[in-house]
Chains A and B, each alone.
Chain A
Amino acid sequence: MAFKLDAKIPQGKLAEKWSNHKAAIKVVSPANKRKLDIIVIGTGLGGGAAAASLGELGYNVKVFCIQDSPRRAHSIAAQGGINAAKNYQNDNDSVYRLFYDTIKGGDYRAREANVYRLAEVSNLIIDQCVAQGVPFAREYGGLLANRSFGGAQVSRTFYARGQTGQQLLLGAYAALNKEIAAGSVKSYPRHEMLDVVVENGEARGIIARNLVTGEIERHGAHAVVIASGGYGNVFFLSTNAMGSNGSAAFQCYRKGAGFANPCFTQIHPTCIPVHGTQQSKLTLMSESLRNDGRIWVPKKLEDVKALRAGTLKPSDIKEEDRDYYLERRYPAFGNLVPRDVASRAAKERCDAGFGVNETGLAVFLDFKTAIERLGKDIIKQRYGNLFDMYEEITDVSPYEEPMQIFPAVHYTMGGIWVDYNLMTTIPGLYAIGEANFSDHGANRLGASALMQGLADGYFVLPYTIGDYLAAKIQAPKVDTNTPAFEEAEKAVKEKIAKLMSINGKQSVDDIHKKLGHIMWENVGMARTKESLEKAIVEIQALRKEFWKDVKVVGDPMSFNVELEKALRLADFLELGELMARDALNRAESCGGHFRSEHQTEEGEALRHDEEFSYAAVWEYKGMDEAPELTKEPLIYEETERKQRNYKD
């Protein structure tokens, strides 16, 4: 049975939709909020902000995270900044311009109404964070400073050195601590959600594993909010934290929530290149570096050879022998083109043989011109910690020689389908932040992930969840001693017992690396019909291999990292196939999804709006069954869709 999707987009003009909607939805009185329980999964910018705000409103909140403290969620690693339409630089920025840049940056595959709301609340976020004591960068006059990010021609990005995500998360974590101290929020660190419980078609709670004792717990609530981030680690190597996983989102999908646009993956252009087979993760170098760094490869292949042989240093190559290929191809935006465009351009040069390291998979990001123009001190002030981090990892100083960079998996625009209220296809189950699909279309602009997480958590969900909960004010506490909870707990325990009993020959990491290889080669930066069909077959085979040959050691009733990883990999092995299926279905190129068969003569992404102007929403049918596709048409009332142009 296909989904009956209702995005619940409010009527009226784009700029009035959110105000109209807020006025129309129900609210819950303070006396009734006290009777209602909400579970929040994840404590990043979305989950942390939501849990704190909901607790403040008077709901009883339980918040879960897999780390040892809510402060460690992966939002903390975001470096560059957060966008807002404040127009503090007087460069003619506006809510409309931020909306337009985001829609265009997403290659016209996001919902207009959601994106407009995001731009609308962006300014409130900055106010909120400053009031919490987030030490944003300031000018000498004491006012807030800004910088530029990709896909924008204005300076609208607020930042706290290269640690913006950390500072915003510490703000949300502090707000959460305030509520934990007040007793409105109860925190469950080192707990992992292993299933969502659905009763009479509504979300009623979760099954969680205490990661210290191994105990399986039942938690009931009137609503469940998924804020568990993205699923980029399906690729094994990515910029995500080691623990980042798609399992909470995947359990929702398994229980009947639609999963939208799973193939939309962001490959970030500026990461430190892979150095060998022992590597566990990839390190991002902030997009903010492209404010002052220039990206190039040599013009001559003999220079490339000499670089690889080590007989030539990058700084020896003369200005006229350098190909600043982004500036050449995209004069209007130059080095600040959106991420998908920058990544593909790097791949194009490396495929043509101009990759500058021994693997042929690297380009230069050079600060020479900026250091000459501004001096080393200013560059150090702006990027000092990033330069230090680079030198620590590679043993090369970016003050002396250019950085080497290469694209890497960074973010997933796809996620759980949600309506305008951020509710999934399961009533009472919400998804916010990177875990949902709603705002970034086929490509996310830099400094917009932090914006979306906090927008959803502070300013959208706390209102929209009331519209659902208003009907629950007479409902008693959720009873966890029901068949639905019993069955869900039993299934989780059986799955764990099965994994422990296989006792095969391969470790979880052995199989995860194989999956990552299949994904990167076939469902990576450039995809074809053939590569995707191949990936589906290979992932299915690997999944069988996993369930026959994985080796999980230790005791499930104890702290057991191998078991945690095995449970997550089991889901990645299904999610990877779903991504490939979605990519195969979408026979067009858009944003981060590049099908080689569909490109312009100049090698740019070629959309087919007539055929594919929809969100692809998938319904789970079983581990070895093909999922069913439902389409949510994307209707553009305000924006004229064009071939994205960053040239002039």
Chain B
Amino acid sequence: MNFTLKIWRQKDAKSKGAFETYQVKDISADTSFLEMLDILNNDLVHAGKEPVAFDHDCREGICGMCSLHINGLAHGPGQAATTCQIYMRKFKDGDTITIEPWRSAAFPVIKDLVVNRGAYDQILQAGGYVSVRTNSVPDANAIPIPKADADESMDAAACIGCGACAATCKNGSAMLFVAARVSSLAKLPQGRVEGARRAKAMVAKMDELGFGNCTNTGACQAECPKGISIAHIARLNREFLAAKIQD
């Protein structure tokens, strides 16, 4: 298969970027999207040109390192899949494909398609944990947890922190990301103890870092590679309100 690629190139955070056009040829349908970029990059290196910088690591859809808006869609055309899990059979021979970095003010571009998602780390540092010390814990089976609660907690905990939700939101809101962590811990007795403090601290940090507000468009849920439901945002809102009322 042959493709025309329009790729966002930007030297560094300070420089202005622009689209450049490239051709890739003889790509197998079983090649993954990132392998297709590897092939382009190898050609660029041979031509003495700088390869396109993009983030990636595990290539199994779990590390959350890969990103990209592909033809305007976060993580490309797949349903509930990350960019690294997209295969070229999803495209038609001869297609023109536009590739951009995450577009979010809170995720500044580092180079080409690579962005800085440190803001997500900062939100979790504000309260996305249970304050237990190593070794200062009861037996694992001391507190039974209803299976349904554990399952729902796991649904939320599947978040890979890739940034697609904020990047795709017209308000640039990180609510789905924040909600996934708050909700996952809220469903467990271990997380309940600090529930109120957590919800307030994480939301405050999110606001401080310049993420927008949620207007319930549901775009985040549609683009989330792990299919995380906006029902968790409802739970975050309940947690947050309850905490505020207590104040």
Report which A residues bind B (CB closer than 8 A): 49, 52-53, 56, 67-72, 74, 76-77, 86, 88, 124, 126-133, 135-144, 160-161, 163, 165-167, 170, 173-175, 177-178, 180-181, 187, 189, 212, 241-243, 275-276, 278-281, 283-284, 388-389, 392-393, 395, 458-459, 462, 505, 507-510, 551, 553-554, 558-559, 561-562
Query: How many angstroms between the C-alpha atoms of A505 and B45 in the bound complex?
Result: 9
Taking a contact as CB atoms under 8 Å apart, the answer to whether A507 and B190 are in contact is no
Q: Is B31 an interface residue (CB 8 A)?
A: yes
Complex interface bits, B25-67 against A, C-beta within 8 A gives 1, otherwise 0: 0011011101100110010111011110101111111111100
Contacts of B56 in A (CB 8 A): 242
Taking a contact as CB atoms under 8 Å apart, the answer to whether B38 and A280 are in contact is yes
- Nearest chain B CB to A64's CB is how many angstroms away? 14
Taking a contact as CB atoms under 8 Å apart, the answer to whether B144 and A133 are in contact is no
Taking a contact as CB atoms under 8 Å apart, the answer to whether A280 and B27 are in contact is no
Partner of B63, one of A72, A126, A551: A72
Complex interface bits, B58-84 against A, C-beta within 8 A gives 1, otherwise 0: 111111110000000000001011000
Contacts of B78 in A (CB 8 A): 392
Q: Is B188 an interface residue (CB 8 A)?
A: yes
Query: How many angstroms between the C-alpha atoms of A290 and B117 in the bound complex?
Result: 37
> What are 10 A-B contacts defined by CB distance under 8 Å?
A77-B63, A127-B137, A130-B140, A132-B130, A163-B158, A280-B38, A459-B134, A459-B135, A558-B111, A562-B51
- Nearest chain A CB to B165's CB is how many angstroms away? 16
Partner of B184, one of A71, A133, A559: A133
> In this complex, what residue of B is CB-closest to A160?
B154
Complex interface bits, B74-104 against A, C-beta within 8 A gives 1, otherwise 0: 0000101100010101000000000000000
Contacts of A187 in B (CB 8 A): 121
Q: Is B153 an interface residue (CB 8 A)?
A: yes
Taking a contact as CB atoms under 8 Å apart, the answer to whether B57 and A137 are in contact is no
Q: Is B131 an interface residue (CB 8 A)?
A: yes
Query: How many angstroms between the C-alpha atoms of A507 and B41 in the bound complex?
Result: 10
Taking a contact as CB atoms under 8 Å apart, the answer to whether A553 and B51 are in contact is yes
Query: How many angstroms between the C-alpha atoms of A562 and B87 in the bound complex?
Result: 24
Contacts of A507 in B (CB 8 A): 42, 45-46
Taking a contact as CB atoms under 8 Å apart, the answer to whether B135 and A241 are in contact is no
Q: Is B171 an interface residue (CB 8 A)?
A: no
> A142 with B89: in contact, given A128-B135, A551-B46 (CB under 8 Å)?
no
> In this complex, what residue of B is CB-closest to A559?
B111
Q: Is B16 an interface residue (CB 8 A)?
A: no
Taking a contact as CB atoms under 8 Å apart, the answer to whether A241 and B57 are in contact is yes
Contacts of B135 in A (CB 8 A): 124, 128, 458-459
Contacts of B89 in A (CB 8 A): 395
- Nearest chain A CB to B28's CB is how many angstroms away? 6
Contacts of B35 in A (CB 8 A): 278-280
Taking a contact as CB atoms under 8 Å apart, the answer to whether A135 and B85 are in contact is no
Query: How many angstroms between the C-alpha atoms of A160 and B158 in the bound complex?
Result: 10
Given A177-B129, A553-B49, 8 more pairs with CB closer than 8 A: A133-B185, A138-B144, A138-B150, A163-B158, A181-B126, A551-B46, A558-B111, A559-B110
Query: How many angstroms between the C-alpha atoms of A553 and B51 in the bound complex?
Result: 8
Q: Is B124 an interface residue (CB 8 A)?
A: yes
Taking a contact as CB atoms under 8 Å apart, the answer to whether A132 and B129 are in contact is yes
Q: Is B125 an interface residue (CB 8 A)?
A: yes
Taking a contact as CB atoms under 8 Å apart, the answer to whether B116 and A68 are in contact is yes
Partner of A68, one of B65, B151, B153, B160: B65
The majority secondary structure among interface residues of chain B is loop
Taking a contact as CB atoms under 8 Å apart, the answer to whether B141 and A88 are in contact is yes
Taking a contact as CB atoms under 8 Å apart, the answer to whether B118 and A175 are in contact is no
Q: Is B191 an interface residue (CB 8 A)?
A: yes
Taking a contact as CB atoms under 8 Å apart, the answer to whether A56 and B145 are in contact is no
Taking a contact as CB atoms under 8 Å apart, the answer to whether B114 and A133 are in contact is no
Taking a contact as CB atoms under 8 Å apart, the answer to whether A141 and B144 are in contact is yes
- Nearest chain A CB to B145's CB is how many angstroms away? 5
Query: How many angstroms between the C-alpha atoms of A458 and B126 in the bound complex?
Result: 23
Contacts of A278 in B (CB 8 A): 27-28, 31, 35, 38-39
Q: Is B139 an interface residue (CB 8 A)?
A: yes
Taking a contact as CB atoms under 8 Å apart, the answer to whether A53 and B134 are in contact is yes
Taking a contact as CB atoms under 8 Å apart, the answer to whether A561 and B53 are in contact is yes
Query: How many angstroms between the C-alpha atoms of A132 and B50 in the bound complex?
Result: 44
Partner of B59, one of A241, A459, A553: A241
Taking a contact as CB atoms under 8 Å apart, the answer to whether A133 and B130 are in contact is yes
> In this complex, what residue of B is CB-closest to A50?
B134
Partner of A69, one of B31, B110, B121, B143: B121
Contacts of B191 in A (CB 8 A): 133
> In this complex, what residue of A is CB-closest to B139?
A127
Q: Is B12 an interface residue (CB 8 A)?
A: yes
Q: Is B210 an interface residue (CB 8 A)?
A: no
Taking a contact as CB atoms under 8 Å apart, the answer to whether A163 and B62 are in contact is yes
> A283 with B60: in contact, given A135-B157, A170-B157, A177-B129 (CB under 8 Å)?
yes
Query: How many angstroms between the C-alpha atoms of A124 and B144 in the bound complex?
Result: 17
Contacts of B147 in A (CB 8 A): 138-140, 142
Taking a contact as CB atoms under 8 Å apart, the answer to whether B62 and A166 are in contact is yes
Query: How many angstroms between the C-alpha atoms of A562 and B35 in the bound complex?
Result: 16
Contacts of B139 in A (CB 8 A): 127
Query: How many angstroms between the C-alpha atoms of A140 and B27 in the bound complex?
Result: 49
> A74 with B85: in contact, given A131-B132, A138-B147 (CB under 8 Å)?
no
Query: How many angstroms between the C-alpha atoms of A90 and B82 in the bound complex?
Result: 40
Contacts of A389 in B (CB 8 A): 60-61, 85
Taking a contact as CB atoms under 8 Å apart, the answer to whether A69 and B117 are in contact is yes
Complex interface bits, B174-195 against A, C-beta within 8 A gives 1, otherwise 0: 0000000000110110110000
Contacts of B87 in A (CB 8 A): 392-393
Taking a contact as CB atoms under 8 Å apart, the answer to whether B121 and A128 are in contact is no
- Nearest chain A CB to B106's CB is how many angstroms away? 14
- Nearest chain B CB to A147's CB is how many angstroms away? 15
- Nearest chain B CB to A525's CB is how many angstroms away? 22
Taking a contact as CB atoms under 8 Å apart, the answer to whether B117 and A510 are in contact is no
Taking a contact as CB atoms under 8 Å apart, the answer to whether B117 and A68 are in contact is yes
Taking a contact as CB atoms under 8 Å apart, the answer to whether A142 and B145 are in contact is yes
- Nearest chain B CB to A563's CB is how many angstroms away? 11
- Nearest chain A CB to B90's CB is how many angstroms away? 10
> In this complex, what residue of A is CB-closest to B186?
A133
> In this complex, what residue of B is CB-closest to A510?
B42
Q: Is B128 an interface residue (CB 8 A)?
A: yes
Query: How many angstroms between the C-alpha atoms of A199 and B65 in the bound complex?
Result: 37
Query: How many angstroms between the C-alpha atoms of A141 and B55 in the bound complex?
Result: 43
Query: How many angstroms between the C-alpha atoms of A20 and B139 in the bound complex?
Result: 24
- Nearest chain B CB to A346's CB is how many angstroms away? 21
- A-B pairs, top 8 by smallest CB distance, nearest first, are A142-B144, A174-B129, A131-B137, A135-B154, A135-B153, A130-B140, A559-B111, A241-B57
Contacts of A392 in B (CB 8 A): 78, 81, 85, 87
Contacts of A243 in B (CB 8 A): 57
> In this complex, what residue of A is CB-closest to B154?
A135
Query: How many angstroms between the C-alpha atoms of A641 and B132 in the bound complex?
Result: 41
Contacts of B184 in A (CB 8 A): 133, 135
Contacts of B53 in A (CB 8 A): 559, 561
> A462 with B134: in contact, given A132-B129, A132-B190, A242-B56 (CB under 8 Å)?
yes
Query: How many angstroms between the C-alpha atoms of A393 and B81 in the bound complex?
Result: 11
Taking a contact as CB atoms under 8 Å apart, the answer to whether B63 and A241 are in contact is yes
Contacts of A160 in B (CB 8 A): 154, 157
